[in-house]
Amino acid sequence: MKMLTKVIVLIGLALFLANASFAQQVKTDYDRAANFSQYKTYSWEKVQAPDPLWVDRVAIGSASLASAQDLSRRPSAAEAAFLKENDAAMTKMMNDMAVKPTGNVDHDLVAMMTPHHQGAIDMSEAELRYGHNEQLIRIAQDIVVEELQEIAAMRAASGEKLTPTEATLAASFAGTSAGPGFSPPVPADSVPPSLKTERPFLAENAAAMTKMMNDMPIKPTGNIDRDFVAMMVPHHQGAIDMARAELRYGREAQLRRIAQEIIVDQIQQISLMRLAVGEPLPPSVSSPTDPLPRPLTGRGSAATSTAQGGGF
């Protein structure tokens, strides 16, 4: 019995020594001096919405945006201010673009393209305030001037009353390759406005804006100039897609020439912006043509165009 007791004691002592030796070999990178109270975590609570599905959409959408913008890295004060101004510009732009369709493609193009151009102006002015790249600053200045001219030209072409400043801008635009000048708009044909026939135009514009807003959320790089290019390129592409829809479905000759000018200018500016930050150029794109509008139900004779061709 005594022998058995000794054996049990010896086994217990051996196990204790083995565990002690193993414990001494365990290593950890845990820093006992770390203050974890400085780290914040986030969760979704008390999100109020009439429809429970909206709660999930808000959470998922915000989580995607947070992931894209990498909230683990705090941007500088200047970059934070730049991004905030851009977010405000895009929110205002999308609110102002939510126009009620009239059935008139040309009228609705102006109603949507005007706030879209204003969004580009606001983004460019933010670059002028916070950017450092001299080439991009010059490009931003060009964007402001050209898009103000195009807004005035579109309003003139649609017969809207212009302020003296807008009239000057429209006149300066008329001296470009877009055309010789503006005359009172004349209906291309006698087809009345129709929401049904406008649907393809509206669908293409909606698709263009959805793609633009999906491509614009960026992960801040710490470089305001690169952030500007990353957001402005898809914004410009949105304008190009809207202008192409006008060439397909619009009928007002002056607005169609302005749409061509928008496409040419914005393709060129995309290339210049990418070159300014050392990015590769996009695939080459052919110059826009002026295809005949697609026929509408009940339309009389086909409207003539200044040029014909494919490409869109």
Residue 141 sits in a domain of what CATH number? 1.20.1260.10
Does 4 map to a domain?
A: no
Does 231 map to a domain?
A: yes
Q: How many domains does the chain have?
A: 1
Q: pTM score, two decimals?
A: 0.66
Indicate the length of the chain as a whole number.
Answer: 312
Does 193 map to a domain?
A: no
Does 86 map to a domain?
A: yes
CB atoms within 10 A of CB 92: 14
In tens digits, the chain (312 residues) has pLDDT values of 656 565 565 666 566 655 555 445 545 444 556 554 554 444 444 545 444 544 454 454 444 544 454 444 577 899 999 999 999 999 999 999 999 999 999 999 999 999 999 999 999 999 999 999 999 999 999 999 999 999 999 999 988 888 888 888 888 886 554 444 444 444 445 556 778 889 999 999 999 999 999 999 988 999 999 999 999 999 999 999 999 999 999 999 999 999 999 999 999 999 999 999 999 876 665 544 444 444 333 333 333 333 333 333
Parent domain of 131: 74-181+201-276
Does 33 map to a domain?
A: no
Does 250 map to a domain?
A: yes
